[in-house]
């Protein structure tokens, strides 16, 4: 069961990274950094949730991997570039 949770967490991390790169590629740093952060964050979230909840809570572990993946990927987003108005 833990192997499926690990694979599920890895897929969640890759999917979150890919979605972020498709949604706002100009506001994120390098592609490799985003993919690595999403993967490691989701795996860490799944492991952390599995450690807190114990065995038998697969959906909760996947929800934890989703939550931590979103939280850490959101830290990589840069502010949108502002355009200056030409008022004199």
Give me the phi and psi of 58, to 5 degrees please. Answer: -60, -50
Q: What pLDDT sits at residue 21?
A: 94
Per-residue model confidence as pLDDT tens digits over 15-27: 999 999 999 888 9
Euclidean distance between CA atoms 26 and 22, whole angstroms: 10
60 C-beta neighbours (distance < 10 Å), count: 16
11 C-beta neighbours (distance < 10 Å), count: 14
Quote the tokens at residue 5: 């949770």
Per-residue model confidence as pLDDT tens digits over 28-77: 999 999 999 999 999 999 999 999 998 889 899 999 999 999 999 999 99
Its pTM stands at: 0.83
Q: Token pair 């706002």 is at which residue? A: 24
User: Looking at residue 28, what DSSP letter applies?
Assistant: S
């Amino acid at each position: 069961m833990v192997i499926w949770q690990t694979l599920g967490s890895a897929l969640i991390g890759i999917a979150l990274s890919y979605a972020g790169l498709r949604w706002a590629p100009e506001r994120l740093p390098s592609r490799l950094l985003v993919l690595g952060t999403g993967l490691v964050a989701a795996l860490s979230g799944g492991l952390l949730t599995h450690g807190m909840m114990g065995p038998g809570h697969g959906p909760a572990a996947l929800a934890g991997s989703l939550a931590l993946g979103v939280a850490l990927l959101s830290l990589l987003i840069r502010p949108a570039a502002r355009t200056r108005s030409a008022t004199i």
